[in-house]
Amino acid sequence: MTKKHLFLSGAIVFLAIGLGFLMYLTIILAGNYVVDDKKLVMHSSSSLVDEGGKLLTKLFIENREIVSIQQVPEHVEEAFIAIEDSRFYDHQGIDFRAITRALYRDILTGSKVEGGSTITQQLAKNTFLSHEKTFLRKTKEVLIAMNLERKYSKSEILEFYLNRIYFGHGAYGIQAAAKLYFDKDVEELTIEEGALLAALPKAPNAYSPITYPERSKQRRDLVLSMMERRGYLSPEEAVRLQGKTISVLRNNVNKKEEYLTYIDMVLDEAEQKYQISNEELLTGGYTIVVPMHADLQKSVYEKFQQNKHFPSKNPNVESAIVLMDVQTGGILAAQGGREYVSKGINRVNAKRQPGSTIKPLAVFAPALETGQYHPYSMLNDEIVDYDGYEPKNFTNDYKGEVPLVDALTYSMNAPAVWLLNELGIERGKAYLEQLGLSTEDNGLAIALGGMTEGFSPLQLTNAYRTLANHGKYSDHYFIKEMYDRNGQLIGASEVKEHKVFSEQTAWYVTRMLELVVKEGTGTNGFTNEPLAGKTGTTSFKGVSGGVRDAWFAGYTPNVVGTIWMGFDRTTETSYLEGGSSYPTALFKEILNDLPNDLKSTSFIRSMAVNDLEPPIQLDKVSDLSASLVFGGKRLLSVKLTWTPSDDERTRYHIYEVTNEHGAKKIGSVDGSGEYFIRSINVFRLHEYFVVPYDYLTDREGPASNVSEVSGPFGF
C-alpha cells in the first residue's frame, strides 16, 4: 500500500472517529435538551383517612401510589424484564440486537410484528414524548433513552418505569395495580401475580383479568415461560405456576358517591387554609386525616335517596345537611344535595333565609346575656306596629304576655320581635357577628330570619355549636392533619375559641331548646337521643301556605347539625309544603343511626350553672276555709286551710277583704296549705282568699273562693 493510500485510509479513519465523536456529542447535548427531570416526578394519588388511620378513599387524577424499587420483590422485577426487555442490564438504553431481530422478522412477514423498544425507551416515550409516530419522535426516543442511562442507575430507571406504566381500570403504577387486582401491597405479590401484572402493560384492556380472564391467563403463562427461558424459574416451577387459575380480588378505588360532598369540601379547605390547589392535592400523594365518620356519612347519603323522608307532593325537593363534632368542630358528615354532583351546587354552603332558627342566636340568648332577662321573664305578645312592620304569630293567637321560655318553645313571632326591639338591633347583630353570621340587614325582621341573603347550613351549624359548647365559638374543619408523600406533617387544624355567651346562658338556651323538641314546634319524628333544637320556615308569598325554606338546627351532647329543605329556585310550581316537619323528622332519623361512640344519654349540667326550673302551675284553690282557733296574741287566731298544689314551689298570697270592693295582701306562705292570722279582732272578723303565685314569672294565678271565718271548733 502506497503512502498515498495509507494517508487516505488514515484520514478516513480519523474522519470516522471524528464523526462518531460528533454524533455522540450530539446525542449527549440533544438528550440533555429534551430530558426534563421535572417530568419524571409522577402524579401520585392522595389518601383520605379517618382519625383511626383507616383508608376512606383515594383522591387522584391518575390512581398511582409511588413505591421504591426496594419494595418490589425480585421475582416481580424479573417478570417484567423477562417479557419486556431481557437484556435490560446489558444495554445502554438501546438494544441493537433486539432491533436487528425485530427488523429481520418484520422483513420476513412483510409487516411490523415485533418492536425492539427497551424498558428505558418505553420510559422515555411515556414520559417525555407525544404519541405521534414520526421518524423524529423515534430519534428523540433513542437520544433520551441513552441519556437516561447516563444519568440514572438501572434500579432507578426500573423504579421510574414500574411506577409510571398503566395497568388498566384506572390503575397507574405497580402499587395501584397490586391494590386493584389483588387488594394487597406490592411487597406481598406472589410469582404468578407478578407475572400477571407484567402481562398487562402491552395491552391493559385486552389482557384485563377482570374483563378477559382466559386471555389474561394465556398472557400470564407466556410471561412465566419467558421467565423460565431466561433462567428465573425452573421448568418445574413454571409448569406448576402455569397450572394455577386466575384469582382476582378486585378492590374498587373509585370515589364513593356518598363521599363526593365531603371530598369537595376537603379540596376547598386545602386550597383556602393551606394554599394547596385542587390539582396538587389530586396528584401530590398527600395523606389527609379527616374527622368523617364513614358509617354516619353513608347513613346520611342513603336517607337522602329515600323519598319517604321528603314531602310526597314535592318529589324534586332538594336538601342539605352538615353534622359536626360538638367538642372539636370537626365535620362528621356532609351532604350537599340529594343527587350531588362533584363540583356542582353544594347546598351545604348555599345561603338561604334561616327563618326562626335565628331566634335563639339573635334574640333570646343575647337577651339572657344582658342579665335583665331570664327564662321566665314576661314578654309582650300582641300585634305591634313598628313603623309599618307588624309581625304576627303563625297561629294568630295572642296572650298579651308570655314567658320567654314559651315564646321560644312555641316559636312565637310577636314576642321575639318585641324583645329584639327592646334589646336593640345592633346588639343582636353584634352577637351574630361573633357567631360568624354577618348580615347587612338592619330591620327588626332579623328576629324572624327575614334577611336579604341569609346563612348557610354550615354557618348555622357552627353557630349552634356555640350553644352546645358552653357558649364558646370556634370554626369548623374538614382536615384534621395533612402529610406530604414523605410523611411530613404540613398542616393541622387549630382550634381558636372565643366566648360569645356565658355558660349559664348556653345552658338555659339548651334546656329551652329541649322543650322545643319535646312539646313545641320540633315534635315531629322520634329519636332516643337527647336533643335540643329549633325549627324554621320562610314563607313563599306567591302561593298561600307555600314554604320557601324549611329548617331544623339542633344538637345532642356530641353532635350538632343543620338540615335544610327547599328548591334551588322557588316558583309557583316548585314550592315546599309541610314546613319544618320533614327536616325535623329526618334529622331525628339520622340521629338514630349515630355510631356508638357518638351516642349519649343526657345533657350534663356543670355544677357552676343553675338548672332551668320547670314552670309552676298556678291551679285555682276552691276549698279555702277560715276558722277561729285557740292561740295567738289575743287568745284566738284565724286559721286558713286549703288543699295545696303538689308543686311545693307554689307560693300563696293571703288576702283580706277590707270592704265590698277591696282587699289587701296580709302575708304569704310557700308550699303549704295553711296560714295563721294571729292578730285579730274577734268582734270584727273579715273574709279571706288566697292566690297562687309564680316567683319565676312574678305572676299571680286565679283567686280562690272567698271564705268567711267560722266559730271556734267549727261553730
d(CA 451, CA 445) in angstroms, rounded, equals 7
Of the candidates 158, 151, 87, 82, the residue with the CA atom closest to the CA atom of residue 120: 158
- 237: how many CB neighbours lie within 10 A of its CB? 14
Helix %, strand %, coil % of the chain (to 5)? 40, 20, 40
Biggest alpha carbon–alpha carbon distance for the chain: 171
Burial of 455 (0-12, 13-18, 19+ CB in 10 A): buried
**For residues 417, 423, 429 and 434, what is the CA-based torsion angle, rounded to 10 degrees?**
-130
Beta-bridged to residue 401, according to DSSP, are 380
Q: 581-591 vs 294-304: helix axis angle to the nearest 10?
A: 150
Whether residue 98 contacts residue 87, with contact meaning beta carbons closer than 8 Å, is answered with yes
Rg of the chain in Å (alpha carbons): 41
Strand ranges (E), 524-673 = 532-539, 547-555, 559-566, 625-634, 636-641, 651-659, 662-670
Candidate list 47, 299, 319, 356, residue with the active-site label:
356
Cell, residue 495: 382550634
Cell, residue 259: 363521599
d(CA 95, CA 290) in angstroms, rounded, equals 50
Whether residue 262 contacts residue 478, with contact meaning beta carbons closer than 8 Å, is answered with yes
d(CA 710, CA 636) in angstroms, rounded, equals 12
Q: What is the 3-state secondary structure (H, E, C) of 162-209?
A: HHHCECCCCEECHHHHHHHHHCCCHHHCCHHHHHHHHCCCCCCCCCCC
The question of whether 613 is a catalytic residue gets the answer no
d(CA 647, CA 511) in angstroms, rounded, equals 20
Whether residue 84 contacts residue 157, with contact meaning beta carbons closer than 8 Å, is answered with no
Cell, residue 157: 430507571
The question of whether 84 is a catalytic residue gets the answer yes
Candidate list 65, 77, 78, 84, residue with the active-site label:
84
Residue 566, phi-psi category: left (phi > 0), alpha (psi -120 to 50), beta (remainder): left
d(CA 451, CA 441) in angstroms, rounded, equals 6
Q: Which residues contact 663 (CB under 8 A, 6 or more apart)?
A: 655, 656, 657, 689
d(CA 209, CA 197) in angstroms, rounded, equals 10
d(CA 644, CA 622) in angstroms, rounded, equals 10
Of the candidates 459, 453, 457, the residue with the CA atom closest to the CA atom of residue 353: 453
52 by DSSP, 3-state: which? Answer: coil
Q: What is the DSSP string of 3-20?
A: HHHHHHHHHHHHHHHHHH
d(CA 225, CA 317) in angstroms, rounded, equals 61
Residues assigned a catalytic role: 84, 356
